[in-house]
Amino acid sequence: MTPGSDAARASGGSLVSHYDYALPEALVAQYPADRRDESRLLTLPPSGPIRHGRFPDFVDLLEAGDALVVNDSRVFPARLLGRKPTGSPAEVLLVRPAGPEGEHVWQALVRPGGKLKPGRRVVVGDDLEVEILEALPSGIRIVRLLADDPEAALERHGRIPLPPYIHRADEVLDRERYQTVYARTRGSVAAPTAGLHFTKQLLDGIEAKGVALGAVTLHVGVGTFRPVEGDDPAGHDMHAERYFVSTEVADMVNRVRDAGGRVWAVGTTAVRTLETATDPGGRVRAGEGETRLFIRPPYAFRVVDGLLTNFHLPRSTLLMLVAALAGYDRTMGAYAEAVRERYRFYSYGDAMVVPPGVARR
């Protein structure tokens, strides 16, 4: 079945192949817009035609009494370029801590994988080396940062880990622009990109409108770029990601829902965090842990009503999440129109909003 075909629509997008689409390479954004809030915005309304505008139009969709929940995870300079003692180049991508705080032990991806075995080191700088401690069956390495001050050395030598579809080296501008203005808690190797469009002025305007703002934390891992293997999404092993929901935010979302307000999530990471933290009765519970929640059609959302997001890779779990909220047919139709209208795609690209009330079919 081809994407958007009658058979695919009838199935509700039940196969991974239903989420394929053709995207000209020229539409993959390689740099951010000159200003955060000048990106384009595609609005998929509950009924009628798709609307095209600019990102500040999003504010007009919000109403007093709504809640807007963002992900405040901060991207850290996780990519370390160095050399083996022989002088040949090597690369280490830190993924997540693998030991008690203060030991500076990490899970990491390394290159060249076959050469970097336990006991070997990568020299990143005069004040930083990476020791390979263990090789896991998955290909992940357990590594330790060797430095007098590992945190400071990581900030000096680490590079921003841009996604693989950005075909350039990271630059100075990425330190700021591949980061939301509200990023607080360090731990992501990829930005929660739906939030990249916000400025502090826009957020102030949203709050002044009577919208409650809250932040959850989900640290984005490299699994976000991993393709779904096979054509049956039920066989996909979803990557685990750490999340945290404070008592303050859980109470805020519950108050808004009790008062009849709507809950908007900024990005698929905020959606997965909120839906993971919500009990069967629709109450958000404070807490932390790991989530492997894979949201795809059909899915009954417990707390999230509206979604602001960027455009996602074909055949990805993120695209399936959007289809679960907006409907498969509507989602793939919106993507086809975004291609025709030459929107900019992926991390540094334009935005799409699914307001509450979209028919999920």
Query: Torsions phi, psi of 342, nearest 5?
Result: 60, 50
Judge whether 248 and 214 are in contact, CB under 8 Å: yes
Of the candidates 313, 232, 302, the one whose C-alpha atom is nearest the C-alpha of residue 274 is: 302
Q: Encoding tokens for residue 228?
A: 């779904």
Assess whether 134 and 283 both reside in one domain: no
Question: Would you say residue 168 lies in a domain?
Answer: no
Range of the structural domain that residue 89 is part of: 79-157
Give the C-alpha separation, 322 to 120, whole Å.
Answer: 43
Assess whether 232 and 264 both reside in one domain: yes
Assess whether 26 and 150 both reside in one domain: no
Assess whether 119 and 182 both reside in one domain: no
CATH number of the domain bearing residue 96: 2.40.10.240
Domain count of the chain?
A: 2
Distance of CA 262 to the CA centre of its chain: 22
Question: Would you say residue 245 lies in a domain?
Answer: yes
Assess whether 152 and 229 both reside in one domain: no
Question: Would you say residue 212 lies in a domain?
Answer: yes
Assess whether 192 and 288 both reside in one domain: yes
pTM of the predicted protein model? 0.93
Residues of the chain with pLDDT under 50: 1, 359-361
pLDDT tens-digit series, residues 61-106: 999 999 999 999 999 999 999 999 889 999 999 999 998 877 899 9
Assess whether 71 and 88 both reside in one domain: no
Judge whether 255 and 249 are in contact, CB under 8 Å: no
Question: Would you say residue 104 lies in a domain?
Answer: yes
CB half-sphere exposure, 194, CA atoms < 13 A? 27
Assess whether 290 and 215 both reside in one domain: yes
Judge whether 110 and 74 are in contact, CB under 8 Å: no
Assess whether 223 and 258 both reside in one domain: yes
CB half-sphere exposure, 28, CA atoms < 13 A? 13
Give the C-alpha separation, 361 to 359, whole Å.
Answer: 6
Assess whether 235 and 306 both reside in one domain: yes
212-218 and 67-71 beta bridge pairing: parallel
pLDDT tens-digit series, residues 176-226: 999 999 999 999 999 999 999 999 999 999 999 999 999 999 999 988 777
